Amino acid sequence: MSGISVVLAGGGTAGHVEPAMAVADALTALDPNVRITALGTARGLETRLVPERGYRLELITPVPLPRKPSADLARLPLRVRQAVRQTRAIFDDVAADVVVGFGGYVAVPAYLAARSVRPGRRIPVVVHEANASAGWANRVGVRSAARVLAAVPDPGLGPVEVVGVPVRDTITSLDRAAVRAQARAFFGFSDDDTVLLVFGGSQGAQSLNRAVAGAAEALARQGIAVLHAHGPKNTLELPAPAPGAPPYVAVPYLDRMDLAYAAADLAICRSGAMTVAEVSAVGLPAVYVPLPIGNGEQRLNALPVVTAGGGLLVEDRELTPDLVATTVAGLLTDRTRLAAMTAAAKLAGHPDAARRVAEVALEVASAGLGRVRR
């Protein structure tokens, strides 16, 4: 077979799949002869996202780690062995030269299988950690990794190379100023509207919905328009708009996030790794509201951007209609401060992250093959 063979292990959630697909696109741009295989499971979003992007997908048994003692925990060793066998067979079939792991259910079998595809051969591994606090899968992966890449300096994996989070090209190449008029027309705003973007991930976020919808009248009085993605299973209770009030555009889901980012002056959003990466990559200032469950990684994800001056951090319990009507509205009407935050957000982003991960993957694969890439 011709071309370097790269296996991307990043199935499960969009937070794992999207970075893998961004790296796949970057690999193809760097080396048109590269052969890319994505590992996934039948239950993950990769069953839709990977084929849509035109890449080969191979499915293995998922290996989730049960949080409590259960029958699933007792079956874990068997599931791991089965998944590792399946993954080894895939590695042999595609003649894998390097594995790039992004954490999640498929990463552990990939890391373990890479150690012993067949006697005397190891496939080099590159680990990428998107979150500020690493998950258990990547903690396994770093034990035998050739390179460890991360979004932040200290995700708990020892020494890392900070590259940011890989983001798709439609976002990193977005010139917000150039498409601003088009984006605003797309959503029904005028060129001179001040626009607040609100989104809580693909399913929405009820606390964000309540706080911003509850401040709708106050925002309108201050001349602030709203683009609000509330989630497909949620609804908003909004007052009837006053004559001449700026638009409040409420939609279940945003298919064109690039245009949403271009239309907005400020965002209110969660702070998952992909959200922070995209919002900062396009230079959009944001009020980050970390998900109030988990181990606090969402708060840590937002801290570098907030520390750089590109956003504010608000705890979920503190996000109220009054805070939106005062603090958020005050920021939106302070053009000088908003411009400074916009510049800081852009500087805090890593728009070249996907290309950097792809370069490392090719370097590691070439070293393993004894090649010198020029």
CB contact set of 143 (below 8 Å; sequence gap of 6+) = none
- Can you say how many angstroms the Cα of residue 355 is from the centroid of all Cα atoms in its chain? 15
Q: How far is CA 349 from CA 59, 163, 268, 281, 372, in A?
A: 33, 10, 17, 4, 31
Q: Is 79 annotated as a binding residue?
A: no
Q: Is 202 annotated as a binding residue?
A: yes
Please tell me the distance from the alpha carbon of residue 301 to that of residue 277, in angstroms, as a whole number: 9
Please tell me the distance from the alpha carbon of residue 43 to that of residue 259, in angstroms, as a whole number: 30
Q: Is 311 annotated as a binding residue?
A: no
Q: Is 298 annotated as a binding residue?
A: yes
Please tell me the distance from the alpha carbon of residue 151 to that of residue 25, in angstroms, as a whole number: 19
Q: Is 3 annotated as a binding residue?
A: no
112, 109, 105, 152: which is closest to 128 by C-alpha?
A: 152
The answer to whether the beta carbons of residues 199 and 260 sit under 8 Å apart is yes
Please tell me the distance from the alpha carbon of residue 335 to that of residue 227, in angstroms, as a whole number: 19
Q: Is 13 annotated as a binding residue?
A: yes
- Strand ranges, E, within the chain: 5-9, 35-40, 56-59, 98-101, 125-129, 147-150, 161-162, 194-199, 224-229, 248-251, 266-269, 286-288, 311-313
| Binding-site residue positions | 13-15, 131, 168, 202, 298
Q: Which residues are annotated as a binding site for UDP-N-acetyl-alpha-D-glucosamine?
A: 13-15, 131, 168, 202, 298
